Amino acid sequence: MMFSRYTSAPLFCFFFVVFYCVNSISSRDPTSVFFNPRVGYTPRYSAIRKAQADDFVFATANGSTSVEPVAKNVKKKLCVGIPSVARDGPRYIDTAVGSLLEGLTPEERSEIYLVVFVPHPEPTVHSAYNEKWLPDLADEVLTYGFGPDVMQHIRNMEAEGGLYREKGLYDWRFLVQKCYEKDIPYIAILEDDVVAMDGWYHRTMAGVEDAERMSAEMRAKPEFLYLRMFYTEEYLGWNSEYWRMYLYNSLIAFTILVVALLLFRTTSLAAKRFLTLRAMMFVLLMLTAFIGLFFAIGRLSTFPIPEGVNEMEEFGCCKQGYVFPREKAMQLAEYFEERRFGFVDVIIEDFANIHRELRWAITPSVLQHLGRTSSIFDSQGPDRKSELSVAERIWSFSFERLNPKSLREEHWRATHQGPGSVQDHKKANFAHTIP
């Protein structure tokens, strides 16, 4: 089969269209060869939500918006704990608190107990500690409040390096214990450098219900370890651990096509005339190219994670936000006390693996990590992924595609028409994401 100018031009147009479509689809997929960091890491919805949150906090701080008192007779459903350390550079706690509270109905706000924990022996080192808006918006601004001996031990831990050594686990346990004492059924622990989507609360609580239901279907009891409120898609690509499976499936596809071509050629005289050896080689070459293209497009583009609650036992990252059933949170706190040293998220996964715990995640994430915005790059993102540190690549790409108008409509339906009315709308919400 020879190529002429009559066949070459259509083939060129075909491949150009394929490449254009693939590049458009996969430019925001971090698992794809065609991923464009300048597009993928651009703050879109998070920039909108951050502005809403900051405006809410500013209005509270200057008194232009009054803070409605939280109803005392409503049963709390979720204790939200946020440890916030003093740091050089940008301060994120304002955005975190503002985005959690902005847009909540009075009923939703009354079901939340919000604790901001300042984990310093001298809490005044945190610039937000003495600002009036913080106690106005939070239910509790938590500090250690121990005697001299314990406070000296905390100072020693802080001097040793803090976050990723003993003190990080100590602070996590302390915050969980305070939430546990409130006798609230679920405990959420969030980092202070996050922004929450509009409607995060109703999606999270619906996710908890789904996690309980699916856990009961899998193991005959509604128990699970956690529900992730955030994860990055960075580590959900074609993982090398499964290369044998990928190779096996590719060989199966290749073999099926070869057998089909041979059968077609031997059973049809017309096919034998046109299906020459050169033509078969071309078809097999095209199949090889399309298999390569399939993997190059990216796993999340070819097999997107379904919206809603999904099991995520491997490659989940990171610790920006979890929801734990109350008793599971305390079991983890006790395990932290045994371990004493290490990374919070690593030890949580160790505990889950040892006890074969179920782990779930919400898709898309209801939180976004803002810590990366302190990098030296402009708001349009870096030119190359390699220019970012590991911490700066902690980013939810699907979060940025959310549409603020659709989220606001979904939130209204959830709070005015009940959760059943949201189910049909949720697909429409993600279908109306920002392109």
Whether residue 5 has pLDDT greater than 60? no
323: left (phi over 0), alpha (psi -120 to 50) or beta: beta
Q: What is the structure's pLDDT at 369?
A: 96
Q: What is the structure's pLDDT at 416?
A: 87
Using a pLDDT cut of 70, give the percent of the chain over it: 85
Do 184 and 326 lie in a common domain? Answer: yes
Q: Give me the CATH number covering residue 181.
A: 3.90.550.10
Chain centre distance of CA 157: 30
Q: Label residue 419 by pLDDT band (50, 70, 90).
A: low
Neighbours of 207 (CB within 10 A): 21
Do 327 and 310 lie in a common domain? Answer: yes
Do 167 and 279 lie in a common domain? Answer: no
Do 109 and 182 lie in a common domain? Answer: yes
Task: Report the alpha-carbon distance of residue 184 to residue 179 in Å, rounded.
Answer: 7
Q: What is the structure's pLDDT at 301?
A: 85
Do 84 and 227 lie in a common domain? Answer: yes
Q: What is the structure's pLDDT at 263?
A: 82
Residue pLDDT, tens place only, 124-149: 999 999 999 999 999 999 999 898 99
Helices (H), 165-308: 166-180, 200-219, 243-267, 269-274, 277-297, 299-302
Q: Indicate whether 417 belongs to any domain.
A: no
Q: What is the total count of domains within the chain?
A: 2
Whether residue 218 has pLDDT greater than 80? yes
The dihedral of CA 408, 396, 229, 421: what is its sign?
Answer: positive
Q: What does pTM read for this prediction?
A: 0.84
Residue type, 8: S
Do 256 and 225 lie in a common domain? Answer: no
Mark which of 297, 331, 366 sits at the end of a domain.
Answer: 297
Task: Report the alpha-carbon distance of residue 392 to residue 30 in Å, rounded.
Answer: 13
Do 329 and 228 lie in a common domain? Answer: yes
> Tokens standing for 222?
């509604």
> Tokens standing for 340?
């004493």
Do 121 and 66 lie in a common domain? Answer: yes
Domain range for 263 is: 243-297
Task: Report the alpha-carbon distance of residue 119 to residue 87 in Å, rounded.
Answer: 12
Q: Which residue has the higher pLDDT, 158 or 203?
A: 203
Do 217 and 166 lie in a common domain? Answer: yes
> Tokens standing for 6?
């009559």
Do 68 and 182 lie in a common domain? Answer: yes
Mark which of 297, 315, 337 sits at the end of a domain.
Answer: 297
Whether residue 435 has pLDDT greater than 80? no
Task: Report the alpha-carbon distance of residue 75 to residue 111 in Å, rounded.
Answer: 6
Q: What is the structure's pLDDT at 271?
A: 72
Task: Report the alpha-carbon distance of residue 93 to residue 171 in Å, rounded.
Answer: 17
Neighbours of 135 (CB within 10 A): 13
Residue 198 CB partners (closer than 8 Å, separation 6+): 49, 52, 102, 103, 404, 407, 408, 411
> Tokens standing for 220?
């005959």
Q: How far lies 337's CA from each of 334, 352, 409, in Å?
A: 5, 16, 44
Whether residue 279 has pLDDT greater than 50? yes
Q: Label residue 282 by pLDDT band (50, 70, 90).
A: confident
Q: Indicate whether 117 belongs to any domain.
A: yes
